[in-house]
Amino acid sequence: MSFHTRNTIYFYLHGKRIALRDVSPSLTVLNYLRDELHRTGTKEGCAEGDCGACTVVVADLNQQGCIQYRAINACIHFVPLLDGKILFTVESLKTNHGLHPIQQAMLDCHASQCGFCTPGFVMSLFGLYKTADKPTHEQLCHALSGNLCRCTGYRPIIDAGQRMYDYAQALAPEQQSALTHPYSAQETPSAWLSQLHELAAHTESLVIHHQQQAFLAPRSISELSHYLLAYPNAYLLAGGTDIGLWVTKRQQHLNTIIYLGQVAELDQISQTDEYLEIAAAVNLERAYQALVQHFPELQDLHWRFASLPIRNAGTLVGNIANGSPIGDSMPALIVLGARVLLRRGNTQRELALEDFYLAYQQKDLQPSEFVQAVRIPLRTSTQILRVWKISKRFEQDISAVCAAFCMEYQEGKIHTIRIAFGGMAATPKRATHTEQALLQQNWSLATLEKAQAALAQDFKPLSDMRASADYRLHVAQQLLHKFYLQTSGSSFVSELGDLHD
Amino acid sequence: MTEDHWIVGKSLAQDSAHLHVTGEARYIDDIPVVQGTLYAALGLSEHAHAYLRHIDLSEVSRAEGVFAVVTAADIPSENHLGGALKDEPILAVEKVEYIGQPIFAVAASSVEAARRAVRLAKIDYEILPHNLDIRRAVAAEQFVLPTKRLQRGHAQQAIQEAPHQLSGQFSLGGQEHFYLEGQIAFALPKEDGDFHIHSSTQHPHHVQEIIASMLGRELKDIEIECRRMGGGFGGKESQASLFACIATLLAYKTQRAVKYRVDRDDDILISGKRHCYDIRWQVGFDEHGSILGVVLDYASRCGISADLSGPVNDRTMFHADNAYYLDQVDIISYRCKTNSQSNTAFRGFGGPQGMMAIEYIVEEIARYLKKDALSVRRINFYGQDERNLTPYGMRVEDNIIPELTDTLVQSSSYLERRQLIEAFNQTNPYLKKGIALTPVKFGISFTATHLNQAGALIHIYNDGTVQLNHGGTEMGQGLLTKVAQVVAETLQINPSHIRCTASTTEKVPNASATAASSGSDINGMAAQQAAEVLRARLIEFLAKHFEVSPEQIQFKTGQVFISDKKTLSFAEVAHLAWFNRVSLSATGFYKTPKIHYDPKTMSGRPFFYFAYGAAVAEVLVDVLTGEYKVTQVDILHDVGDSLNPALDIGQIEGGFVQGMGWLTTEELWWNQAGKLMTHAPSTYKIPSIGDLPRKFNVRLVDKKPNREATIYRSKAVGEPPLMLAMSVFFALKHAIESIADYQISSQLNAPATPESILTAIQTLRSFQSTTAA
Ligand SMILES: Cc1cc2nc3c(=O)[nH]c(=O)nc-3n(C[C@@H](O)[C@@H](O)[C@H](O)COP(=O)(O)OP(=O)(O)OC[C@H]3O[C@@H](n4cnc5c(N)ncnc54)[C@H](O)[C@@H]3O)c2cc1C
Ligand code: FES
Ligand code: FES
């Protein structure tokens, strides 16, 4: 088989088209900006996607042909992933007409102290500025959930986020440009649009060879399958929010990387009569938006899953495929009866998600096989669903425990029940004894207590820096209690969010 | 008062704010490197306590891109960090004492090459038993410094004779600084064996001393420069020197420039933090809650060496009283040696831990007497003319805590809200609210009297612009801006004509650390003095030149009035003075008056004055999971006459949120092997934006100039607000105790993570059921 390929990465930066050849495919955007271009406004605070000092914005075309702007963490984003996109860094906001409204608002609100986090906040705000109208306090928090500031206590930054739109309105005509224009539904900044169209004309697959490294970015599922068969030891890269850290934190050397993000067929969310299908390249943010539309009970999990920049880069299928025992998507998907669609060459097979996990870091995945999509059965009218994530911090934290419950009643009895936990075992796992204790029972306190006892049979969790074994088990039992309260007609509120405006 | 000023007291933006928002502000990692620059990495100990039997670095040396590998043997002179006590090596010799201790360093052609290379070391360890437990260290008498005791009266006897007694124990976790800019240094060899080192440090002079001693050189040979830090919080006070040493040692060895930007995980594994404490206490009190006697036993985890543990633990003892008069008191302080990072300065410098103990006790008394803790607090507050002597013998002369508290109680509707909360809790079994008001009294000055000095250097150029330098360093607190405001006020020039320059040992010698909240107090004074010298010189010259009397010359709002004859711009004056050969450069110097302190008896007046504040926090707790939200915070804080209200409010809000992190989400966790596992932001959780209280009302105390003659009667603000966050901890405790209808107190340890809270709830419940049975 032969495919049209090219060995040059094309993207736009600051109105300039950049053609990059001969770079290490695991070079991060952050190091590229700082070391090669000497654009040092973008900072490194952690090199693991957790602090936001490195936030930049990428723009590309969505399926409707409109520009979408996404804040991402440059520290764990590999340079070839910029192919076909426009990159904005804090330096991009500078014009000859003074500060950008965001910058002016930050300055006037005294929103910087040491200033090290500031460029990252400015860029997260830029991402928001270009994607939303005047945001609420909540929206601002969601947009800035990946940015840490150790100095200010955040209040002035929130103020700046609210005021930046006022500054935009007050701009003189000569200050107005695509950069300073906040989001509006009909806006089409033509220069950027034509840059993106021009880049889109490079329909060949990007294939880079650099020293001992190779990077292949197929354009179709068959091309992807082909490469995976040809390079069974290659790393399959999706959003890189796990893989990026292997490079920056473990100094791991990646020989061959196959990137699935340029396969348009995989960037699809579709729906049949039976299921919702989310394919491998769909990022977490889009995936969770779709999931929440079908299952509003996942709203909290959506907001508490990592941060917006991580959700903008990482994929749902990557989360599933990585299969960490503390991954947040799996418990909910397992109780919803999700199935994974696997593919190797031209062969496909389907598997219940819970069967995909064999043991710690072991999956039912053959060499050269990949997860094409996840299929989530559509909701039934009788389904009662609850999902909780427990962590030390609300935003951007990894679960100590993540719990999902899905139940159906029939004639006052628990007719079906599926319970799954993350953080409680070596894999995301069903609580089978607990389910047994509940099945066909009246939903009463007595049943609850039996089920809580059964949980201790299901799980022997570990102690680590996130939580002790005791707490994990105890909180799991308490969540069962909470599930009971919320589904058995108790009139007491038991959700912080219900009272905390 | 402030109305009389032109520049001082105004909310000017920080001098660098326009550079922060555009990304143009230059941090050390942003300085363009010179040709041939190499990059460093450290090889760290993998065992908490072990002999180094054999270190094989052959593969490290052979690794791609490696230019040099150094161990302790390569240090030309002293292999010591630390100040007075030289008890910690730069690179380990023979023995390692904690996981993360530096053993060797590498210089390579890139950061990645250096980091990859250090992983190739083969080190043979002979493992020894290790200890991280504070009380085990006390029992085994493993201390980095001798135990100290501060006593007044007969506390034990007073407790025994008191109508009521209580005792208890609780633990307080430490805190990682998590400055957003990690530790970094960039060393450049100069001629004649000298070095110029860019170091992200709060204390350039200290770095200069350590490097000079490491190289066997003199202070004159070493220049340390720091324009700004991306945060410090105490973590770059003594501990920046290690990283500067490593960069310099490798630069010495290779005769090339070497940059050492420390990987975040390594930074957290290597460097010291806020001290964790185990606190035991006994108290005797009467039926109103008045404290009659108290015994406090503070034991802190200092890590492997003294570092700043001496003064940190001293400050704990000095703040054991917080805002309360303790008549009969016995305070003991153990400085424990443990197999962990050498703990160091962190905003508050031991004071927060000191105060937490007495606040804990006050809460326990209130619970026991079934009173609102506020009433117990009030009854124990320092008096005005009596009951105003601290345990260390300093008179509290400027006490505003009672009135400040009254004002805050009013403005926050504390009493009404407390009633509503208790009613809410009656009817809600699964969500509980809590509220608490805590005061802060914090002593300002270095307790080591000699450190309370500062120098400044001002140049006026003949175009009328000014360069300002002083020994203080900028880490985000706005020090340079405040000092520039002082100079602008003195010379009556626009602050935009003043350039604050990088702190460097070349301009101001022997400067103290920018610490102890004293930055603007002492550097502001020194700069003011230098500016006054220059103004006096200009006046003398102008008087002669224009043949008027000095009194007829006025510097005012950017202009200079020469009687009613003539008005000149400051630039014209500067030019004229230069033309007439007047020196336009001056130094200034300041030493804090009144203070004295005898470390042997722990008595005297260690503090020039106190800063005060109080906060009310309200929380909502999910008692099933232990998760919670801080729903409202009201703060009233005393900054005297503010030099810059916006910057002061920034310090208050930021300090509060940082303190809240310390007491809630920020948990340091070591595994069995003694490894700190929370060594990255993925595992160590500082507050994020959603943790900001939804209602957050911060006010400055109105019209309360500092009683002492500080710079424009302002007060220091860097540290005190951190302790306002104690209110959050006690609000959580209040919420928890509603479960047992406030009849019994809960054992809540800090940080109050959801786990810590759920544990406290469980203990409370089991206690309740055993007492009921
Ligand atoms: C700061 C930060 C915060 C985070 N917070 C959370 C959190 O709150 N909850 C949570 O669950 N996770 C969290 N994560 C991890 C989460 O972002 C990842 O698990 C993500 O979902 C992985 O997707 P990706 O596209 O980035 O995968 P990548 O990093 O590209 O790949 C991850 C792994 O999956 C494999 N893979 C990817 N796609 C496929 C496929 N289609 N078929 C087969 N194998 C595949 C890769 O080969 C690799 O082994 C966080 C990560 C970071 C950096
Ligand atoms: S550097 Fe911290 S998120 Fe990238
Ligand atoms: S301003 Fe210092 S970290 Fe945000």
Distance (Å, rounded) from C-alpha B648 to C-alpha B613? 13
Tell me if A328 CB under 6 Å of ligand 1.
yes
Q: Are B191 and B314 in contact (CB under 8 A)?
A: no
Cα A229–chain centre separation: 28
CB of B653 within 8 Å of any CB in chain A? Answer: yes
Percent composition of chain B: helix, strand, coil (DSSP 3-state, to 5): 35, 25, 40
Q: Which residues of B touch A122 (CB under 8 A)?
A: 21, 23
Write phi, then psi, for B421 (nearest 5 degrees). Answer: -65, -45
Q: Are B442 and B401 in contact (CB under 8 A)?
A: no
Asked whether residue B171 is domain-assigned, the answer is yes
Q: Are B224 and B505 in contact (CB under 8 A)?
A: yes
Note the maximum CA span of chain B.
96
Q: Which ligand is nearest to the CA of B654?
A: 3
Task: Note whether B183 and B172 are same-domain residues.
Answer: no
CA distance A360 to chain B (A): 20
Look at A158 and B692 and tell me if their CB atoms are within 8 Å.
yes
Q: Is the pTM of this model over 0.95?
A: yes
Q: Which ligand is nearest to the CA of A149?
A: 3
| Residue from the list A44, A112, A397 with its beta carbon closest to the beta carbon of B685 | A397
Task: Note whether B290 and B387 are same-domain residues.
Answer: yes
Task: Note whether B109 and B143 are same-domain residues.
Answer: no
Using CA positions, which residue lies closest to atom 23 of ligand 1? A318
| Residue from the list B476, B692, B755 with its beta carbon closest to the beta carbon of A115 | B476
Distances in whole angstroms, Cα of residue B380 to Cα of each of A110, B75, B355, B413, B611: 38, 55, 14, 22, 18
Nearest residue to B434 via CA among B261, B608, B617: B617
Q: Which residues of B touch A114 (CB under 8 A)?
A: 179-181, 228-232, 475-476
pLDDT in tens, A201-222: 999 999 999 999 999 999 999 9
Q: Are B231 and B181 in contact (CB under 8 A)?
A: yes
Distance (Å, rounded) from C-alpha B27 to C-alpha A119? 13
Residues of chain B with pLDDT under 70: 1-3, 771-773
Q: Which amino acid is at B506?
A: E
Which 541-580 residues of chain B touch chain A by CB within 8 A? none
| Residue from the list A151, A397, A499 with its beta carbon closest to the beta carbon of B431 | A499
Q: Are B145 and B312 in contact (CB under 8 A)?
A: no
Distance (Å, rounded) from C-alpha A319 to C-alpha A403? 16
Phi-psi region of A154 (alpha: psi -120 to 50; beta: other; left: phi over 0): left
The pLDDT of residue B703 is 82
A230 contact partners, CB below 8 Å, separation of at least 6: none
B358 contact partners, CB below 8 Å, separation of at least 6: B294, B296, B320, B321, B322, B324, B326
Look at A492 and B428 and tell me if their CB atoms are within 8 Å.
yes
Ligand 3 atom closest to Cα of residue A111: 1
CA of A41 to the centre of ligand 2 (A): 13
Task: Note whether B95 and B45 are same-domain residues.
Answer: yes
Question: Domain end: B591, B620, B653, which one?
Answer: B591
Nearest residue to A279 via CA among A370, A162, A398, A389: A370
Strand partners, B50: B96, B127
Q: Which amino acid is at B79?
A: N
Active-site annotation holder among B223, B719, B737, B755: B719
Q: CATH no. for residue B95? A: 3.90.1170.50
Question: Domain end: B565, B591, B617, which one?
Answer: B591
For residue B737, indicate whether it is catalytic. no
Domains of chain A: 1-204 (3.10.20.30), 264-377 (3.30.465.10), 384-498 (3.30.390.50)
Nearest residue to A156 via CA among B18, B619, B411, B652: B652
Q: What is the mean pLDDT of chain A?
A: 95
SS3 for A394?
coil
Asked whether residue B567 is domain-assigned, the answer is yes
Tell me if A151 CB under 6 Å of ligand 3.
yes
Q: Which residues of A touch B722 (CB under 8 A)?
A: none
The pLDDT of residue A500 is 62
pLDDT in tens, A34-92: 999 999 999 999 999 999 999 999 999 998 889 999 999 999 999 999 999 999 999 99
| CB environment B661-676: b (16+ within 10 A), e (fewer) | bbbbbbbbbbeeebbb
Preceding omega of B509 cis (within 30 degrees of 0): no
Asked whether residue B641 is domain-assigned, the answer is no
Distance (Å, rounded) from C-alpha B625 to C-alpha B610? 40
Looking up tokens 């009463």 gives A444
CA distance B380 to chain A (A): 31
| Angle ∠(A471,B751,B655) on CA atoms, nearest 5 | 145
Task: Note whether B101 and B153 are same-domain residues.
Answer: no
The pLDDT of residue A501 is 53
Q: CATH no. for residue B581? A: 3.30.365.10
> B589: exposed, middle or buried (C-beta count within 10 Å: 0-12, 13-18, 19+)?
middle
Ligand 1 atom closest to Cα of residue A305: 8
Nearest residue to B107 via CA among B157, B70, B71: B70
Distance (Å, rounded) from C-alpha A102 to C-alpha A181? 11
Q: Which ligand is nearest to the CA of A74?
A: 2
Q: Are B561 and B569 in contact (CB under 8 A)?
A: no
Asked whether residue B768 is domain-assigned, the answer is no
The pLDDT of residue B1 is 42
CA distance A270 to chain B (A): 33
CA of A495 to the centre of ligand 3 (A): 32
Q: Please give the DSSP secondary-structure letter assigned to residue A250.
A: H
The pLDDT of residue A1 is 64
Task: Note whether B521 and B375 are same-domain residues.
Answer: no
The pLDDT of residue B52 is 98
Question: Taking residues A402-411, what's their average pLDDT?
Answer: 96
Q: Which ligand is nearest to the CA of B686?
A: 3
The pLDDT of residue B82 is 80
Task: Note whether B165 and B243 are same-domain residues.
Answer: no
Looking up tokens 């003659």 gives B709
Strand partners, A271: A276
Distances in whole angstroms, Cα of residue B100 to Cα of each of A341, B265, B402: 44, 10, 47
Asked whether residue B371 is domain-assigned, the answer is yes
In sequence order, what DSSP letters do the residues of B335-354 get, joined into one string?
EEE-SS------TTTTHHHH
| Residue from the list B21, B654, B696 with its beta carbon closest to the beta carbon of A122 | B21
What are the tokens at B283?
């108290």
Pick the residue from chain B with its C-alpha nearest to A47: B264
CB of B116 within 8 Å of any CB in chain A? Answer: yes
Q: Which of B14, B19, B20 to mutate to test the interface with A (most CBs of A within 10 A)?
A: B20
Sign of the dihedral through C-alpha A465, A468, A471, A476: positive
Q: Are A113 and B25 in contact (CB under 8 A)?
A: no
Note the maximum CA span of chain A.
72
B707 contact partners, CB below 8 Å, separation of at least 6: B397, B398, B609
Task: Note whether B252 and B190 are same-domain residues.
Answer: yes
Asked whether residue B183 is domain-assigned, the answer is yes
Task: Note whether B111 and B258 are same-domain residues.
Answer: yes
CA of A322 to the centre of ligand 1 (A): 6
Q: Which of B11, B28, B109, B180 to mutate to test the interface with A (most CBs of A within 10 A)?
A: B180
Asked whether residue B644 is domain-assigned, the answer is no
Ligand 2 atom closest to Cα of residue B681: 2
Which 430-449 residues of chain B touch chain A by CB within 8 A? 430-431
Considering just the CA atoms, what is the radius of gyration of chain B in Å? Answer: 27
Cα A117–chain centre separation: 21
The pLDDT of residue B772 is 59
> B601: exposed, middle or buried (C-beta count within 10 Å: 0-12, 13-18, 19+)?
exposed
In sequence order, what DSSP letters do the residues of A46-90 get, joined into one string?
-SSSSS-TTEEEEEEE-TTS-EEEEEEEGGG-BGGGGTTSEEE-G
CB of B424 within 8 Å of any CB in chain A? Answer: no
Q: What is the dihedral of CA B578, B581, B587, B588, to 10 degrees?
A: -90
B4 contact partners, CB below 8 Å, separation of at least 6: none
| CB environment B387-405: b (16+ within 10 A), e (fewer) | eebbbbbbebebbbbbebb
Element (H, E) at A156: helix A155-169
The pLDDT of residue B565 is 81
Asked whether residue B300 is domain-assigned, the answer is yes
CB of B761 within 8 Å of any CB in chain A? Answer: no
Look at B264 and A251 and tell me if their CB atoms are within 8 Å.
no
Q: What is the dihedral of CA A311, A312, A315, A320, to 10 degrees?
A: 0
| Residue from the list A113, A158, A249 with its beta carbon closest to the beta carbon of B265 | A249
Task: Note whether B201 and B94 are same-domain residues.
Answer: yes
Structural domains counted in chain B: 3
Cα B418–chain centre separation: 33
Looking up tokens 């904690």 gives B98
CB of B540 within 8 Å of any CB in chain A? Answer: no
Distance (Å, rounded) from C-alpha B773 to C-alpha B769? 6
Task: Note whether B40 and B150 are same-domain residues.
Answer: no
Look at B654 and A117 and tell me if their CB atoms are within 8 Å.
no
Q: Where are the beta strands (DSSP E) in A256-346?
A: 256-259, 269-271, 275-279, 339-344
Task: Note whether B531 and B570 are same-domain residues.
Answer: yes
Looking up tokens 């075992």 gives A425
What are the tokens at A138?
């909540």
CA distance A129 to chain B (A): 16
Tell me the residue range of the domain where B281 lies: 131-176+274-392
What are the tokens at A443?
């939903």
Question: Domain end: B591, B623, B657, which one?
Answer: B591
Q: Are B677 and B606 in contact (CB under 8 A)?
A: no
